Structure 1
Amino acid sequence: MSNPTEVTTPDGAMPAHLWLPESGRGPGILLLQEIFGVSAYIRRRAQDLADLGYVVLAPQIFWRLGVDEIANGPSMLEDAMAVVGRLDWDSAVSDARAALRALRERPETTGGTGVVGFCFGGGLGYAVVAGEPADALVSFYGSALPGITEAVPSVTTPSLHHFGEDDAYIPMDVVRTIRERVSGGGSVDFHTYPGADHAFDNDDFVNHDPQASAAAWATTESWLREHLPVR
């Protein structure tokens, strides 16, 4: 179960959600949403991470637009794209970095801090650690990575990347280019999943691929245990 909290920014308080592990403390994970906001799916993944022993903070990145999440339904993708079209990217990066700093300063956070992001959040997470290095980054099909990695080809933060091999938005030739670009920095792991489309981990979305989702999450758990261990 999450608790409401806030992150201080120069322009006001950004709403956020906080999950604590059973122990009440642990390494921190900044969880960055898809374009659908802090949805029920993102909240489930936050609880999964808390169950692994992490303190999880999920900021409402669309707060400046007055949006928490996009309602499920036939127009959800269209509605989400309309919201993202109004988003100021630089402000979103600044807000997410502020959330990472706030997570580090929380008394419940012990040990290191990492970033886990999905789709929109996967690219945003890379932009965050480019200016605010963390101990780990997990990016699920980061939609902004093609453009971001052209400007910032590598980061020092160890990273794990998941992509579907049938992603309609990020084809495999682009995935290979991303991999080449980011491999000059910290340790990098790439995993691809045959037959999986974009957003394959989201079990509330039409593209959900149960087999790819289970495999990617198992890999994420073991990778986090190595790079962001719970003591």
Structure 2
Amino acid sequence: MTDMISITTLDGAIMPAYRAVPAGEPKAAIVVIQEIFGINPGIRRKCDTLAEAGYLAIAPDLFWRIEPGISLDPDVAPEMQRALSLMGQFDQDEGIRDIEAAIRFARTEGVAKVGAVGYCLGGRLAYMTAARTDIDASVGYYAVGVDGLLGEKHAIAKPLMLHIAGDDGFVDKDTQAAMHAGLDDHPKVTLHDYPGEDHGFATEFGKRRSEAAASLADQRTTAFFTEYLG
């Protein structure tokens, strides 16, 4: 079952979210953190796939404070430009607080553990979620700007996995090297590199998807969540 729900934020407002519910008792809950394209068909499909695997999946509409209901296609140039503009308006610290509200909501749904998975901007937010919340396990795909967040790595107390696109147009080689230098020895962090792959390689739909790399990354994510969430 899928539906749109309302989550009360930490400041008492109401945030919309997409929810996908498994057929049986959920093994755990996973908060799905959007790209800069909003809760679009790809993010909804990520939630649906997690529900098919037995997880309660919740994707909070993190752009709701700017404009609720954003759903953009990265393969359409004007929509890509709009997405980049929205990212510039987005308050990431406030976004983490909204993710925390989604985590708290998930914990009321009868699950023992809550994880998070994010893509692009959501990959960065997954790292921040690992450092700033009590999330049980987090995964970030092609996270942007993590080199600027390495000062928070000491706060990561639960497992975090990051998938790094080797030829990422938004994460250059120096940034990737800084991620490895800063995180390779962290006992809770695992980094996986995908040589030759560009940003967005694990998207569900559209031109950016790279089937082999997406399948490998998703297999690793599945094994990671099975180990740490159940």
| Contact 2:27 2:229 survives alignment (8 Å) | no
User: Which of 76, 80, 84 pairs up with 2:87?
Assistant: 84
Moved over 4 A (4+): 183-186
* Rounded Cα–Cα distance in structure 1 between residues aligned with 2:66 and 2:144: 20
1:53 corresponds to: 54
Q: Does 1:106 align with 2:109?
A: yes
Distance 1:134 1:167 in 2: 27
Task: Name the TM-score, length of structure 2 as normaliser.
Answer: 0.91
Cα distance, 1:184 vs structure 2: 5.3
In structure 1, give the amino acid aligned to 2:96: V
1:135-159 residue CA offsets vs partner (Å, 9 max, x unmatched): 211100111322222x313411201
Classify the secondary structure of the residue corresponding to 2:124: helix
- Partner of 2:4 in structure 1? 4
Instruction: Give the match's secondary structure for 1:180.
Output: helix
Q: Matches of 1:192 and 1:30 in 2, distance apart?
A: 23
Residue range with higher mean Cα deviation, 139-148 or 113-122: 139-148
- Judged with a 3 Å threshold, the aligned counterparts in structure 2 of structure 1 residues 114 and 101 are, in CA distance, closer, same or farther, namely same
2: CA distance, partners of 1:131 / 1:49: 24
The equivalent of 2:168 in structure 1 is 167
The residue type equivalent to 2:5 in the other structure is T
Q: Is the 8 A contact 2:7 2:16 kept in 1?
A: yes
Q: How has the CA–CA distance of structure 1 residues 47 and 191 changed in structure 2, closer, same or farther, with 3 Å as cutoff?
A: same
Within 5 Å, which residues of 2 pair with 1:86-165?
A: 86-107=89-110, 109=111, 111-149=112-150, 151-154=151-154, 155-165=156-166
Distance 1:71 1:210 in 2: 21
Structure 1: which amino acid aligns with 2:195? P
Aligned to 2:193: 192
SS of the equivalent of 1:63 reads coil
How far apart are residue 11 of structure 1 and its match?
4.6
Structure 1 unaligned runs (5+)? none
CA distance in 1, matches of 2:95, 2:134: 17
Is the alpha carbon distance of 1:58 and 1:203 closer, same or farther for their aligned partners in structure 2, counting shifts above 3 Å? closer
What is the distance in 1 between the residues matched to 2:140 and 2:78? 25
1:28-60 CA-partner distances (Å, limit 9, x unpaired): 111100011111011111111111111111100
> Residue 20 of structure 2 contacts residue 57 of structure 2 at CA under 8 Å; is this kept in 1?
yes
Secondary structure in 2 matching 1:153: helix
Q: What is the SS of the residue equivalent to 1:137?
A: strand
Q: Distance in 2 between matches of 1:136 and 1:191?
A: 16
Cα RMSD over matched residues? 1.7
Percent of counterpart pairs with the same letter? 29
Q: 1:202 and 1:28 mapped to 2: Cα distance?
A: 21
1:178: which partner in 2? 179
Deviation at 1:183, TM superposition (A): 4.3
Distance in 2 (alpha carbons) for counterparts of 1:174 and 1:162: 14
Q: Distance in 2 between matches of 1:136 and 1:192?
A: 19
Q: Which amino acid aligns with 1:97?
A: E
Question: Structure 2 unaligned runs (5+)?
Answer: none
- Number of residue pairs matched by the alignment: 226
Range with bigger deviation, 173-182 or 19-28? 173-182
C-alpha distance in 1 between matches for 2:183 and 2:195: 22
